[in-house]
Structure 1
Amino acid sequence: MAADPYGRFRGTRRPPADEEAPRELRLYGLNAVRAAFARRPEALRKLYLAEARIPALQPLLKWCVANRVGYRVVGEDDLRKLAASAHHEGVVADLQREPPVALDAWLAALPAGPQCAIWLDGVGNPHNLGAILRSAAHFGVAAILLPHASNLALSGAAARVAEGGAEAVPMVRLDDDATSLAQLGEAGFATVATVVEGGDNVFAMPPTDRLVYVLGAEGEGMDRGLAARCDRRVSIPGTGAVESLNVAAATAVLLAAWWNRPARP
């Protein structure tokens, strides 16, 4: 298993949850398309753009011509239909989808030293996923961990919200919870469940160099059994004026806490 220049790993193993996933991904948004082209231009299959975007996308267009990849200059209505969104920012691209890598392969290729990952238990909203990916890229997160049976996958909407962050953070497919927790523990990771109340203050948590934050679904929260099996449970203190933070906002707070952890003595 080899890492590309952006630290992503390509695996050959596809678990059942990924077998029916579409082989192509339709991206839209200037930063999302540029980031995908910068990291994996060979994945590009087709490009659509507004005339006003030609100057900004010259390197991409030259690559398309040199590699016989089709592109079309189209109008606003066509871009809106292609993206199924008004937020296309003048460019839409079809790319070969990159499947998640298996947990054991990711761990085997992971560099030594401090690492943080995010385990998403039931999160499904694409805009939340995009915001999580953006924060994850900003704070250098090593991976998004997806439960074995999860149908969560990168979408055009998530990639646009991520503003290029989707290309910086790999997605990793877990095995069953017990096996995954054991593998992460053997690799030196502490697993920390995030709960609305009853957890330790996340800002008072001892510094941990290898950490997995486990976050639950937007409405139901995380599975209680999974939370109980994690090494720790933490909460984000606040005024109590609202029950909790949105999962994407909570992720940003948690990652900032890890990034700014005190140095070990």
Structure 2
Amino acid sequence: MSNAGGDGGPWKPRGRRTAGGRGGTRPPRRREPSSASAAPQVPAPRPDRRAEVRLHGMNAVQAVFARRPEAIRKLYLTGPRIPQLQPLLKWCVANRVGYRVVDDEAELARLAGSDRHEGVVADVLRQPEPALADWLSSLEQGPQCLLWLDGVGNPHNLGAILRSAAHFGIAGVLLPEASELALSGAVARVAEGGAEVVPLVRMGAAEGAMQQLRGAGFTLAATVVAGGQDLFAGRLPPRLVYVMGAEGEGMDRGLAQACDLRVSIPGTGAVESLNVAAATAVFLASWARSRA
């Protein structure tokens, strides 16, 4: 790599000075290299936009401010929201975080990518998705409930699941390695602050993830529409992973068979099944009740 603005590198002496005074050859006086020639001028790295997510909705933005205000990078709001967001605005001023009052609702909708922005939009740093093994090593002992989302792809369902998970004190939501699910503005808005409470944890291969979970004392329960153990008939294990199937196709049959038990929500049969987000809330409530 050449030095920007330099002369090809540091100076090299052309000759040696001989001993014994004036008759020797004196080397030319060495000049101190300029800052340009001393080190390559490396441009400052551009911020990784994938490391940020644009959130919208009062509860979603306020939850970030309450738990990790340093993650906020930019704020947009409508005039009527100024009184409610005064603490956040003062924090932005004190920490030199830019904010802009947007008068045009259509512009804020464009920034949010949704007309359900509730008058506030924020660019924030994403929370990292820890690897399963690292996360399990830091998880507290005792009763814990986790959610494994197998094939769930709808962001609104993920948001509703995170909201229920936060309500019932669920330790984490596990995502398959190949899943495209991730936190988005729509997910965070529907989660109503739950996305800041419940971590998303990224798994590796299913077989290895099962071994790691069992090694941490968890029982894996496949949630099936029919043919499983009545959810309300017995006491659930204290350390439990509910494996939830996809919205339309349900759970992968091989994965369901590999689980330690299969559980179903009893119903009238008037409808085939519950939406995955609604079913998740029922499963989580049942586990929480069994711990009471």
The TM-score normalised by the length of structure 1 is 0.90
Whether 1:124 aligns to 2:174 is no
Provide the rounded CA distance (Å) in 2 between the counterparts of 1:204 and 1:102.
34
Q: Which residue of 2 aligns with 1:34?
A: 62
Shift of 1:97: 1.4
Shift of 1:262: 5.6
Structure 1: stretches of 5+ with no match in the other structure: 1-19
Q: 2:144 aligns with which of 115, 128, 131?
A: 115
Shift of 1:85: 1.1
Structure with the greater relative contact order (CA < 8 A, sep ≥ 6): 1 or 2? 1
Whether 1:255 aligns to 2:284 is yes
Provide the rounded CA distance (Å) in 2 between the counterparts of 1:262 and 1:104.
26
Matching of residues 54-133 of structure 1 within 5 Å: 54-75=82-103, 76-133=105-162
- CA RMSD, 1 decimal: 1.3
Cα deviation 1:179-233 (Å, max 9, x = unaligned): 1101100111000000111111111133311000000110111111111110001
- The amino acid that maps onto 1:185 is R
Provide the rounded CA distance (Å) in 2 between the counterparts of 1:82 and 1:262.
43
Shift of 1:42: 1.1
| Identity, % of aligned positions | 69
Structure 2: stretches of 5+ with no match in the other structure: 1-47
Q: Which residue of 2 aligns with 1:246?
A: 275
- The amino acid that maps onto 1:62 is K
Native 8 Å contact 2:77 2:101 kept in 1: yes
Cα deviation 1:213-256 (Å, max 9, x = unaligned): 00011011111111111000111110001110000000000000
- SS of 1:233's equivalent in the other structure is strand
Whether 1:209 aligns to 2:238 is yes
Change over 3 Å in CA distance of 1:259–1:93 after alignment to 2: same
- The amino acid that maps onto 2:90 is K
- The amino acid that maps onto 1:85 is S
Shift of 1:99: 2.5
Native 8 Å contact 2:111 2:121 kept in 1: yes
- SS of 2:163's equivalent in the other structure is helix
Cα deviation 1:14-73 (Å, max 9, x = unaligned): xxxxxx992210100000000011111111110000111111111111111111110000
Aligned length: 244
Larger of the two Rg values belongs to structure: 2
Change over 3 Å in CA distance of 1:21–1:119 after alignment to 2: farther
- The amino acid that maps onto 1:112 is Q
Q: Which residue of 2 aligns with 1:156?
A: 185
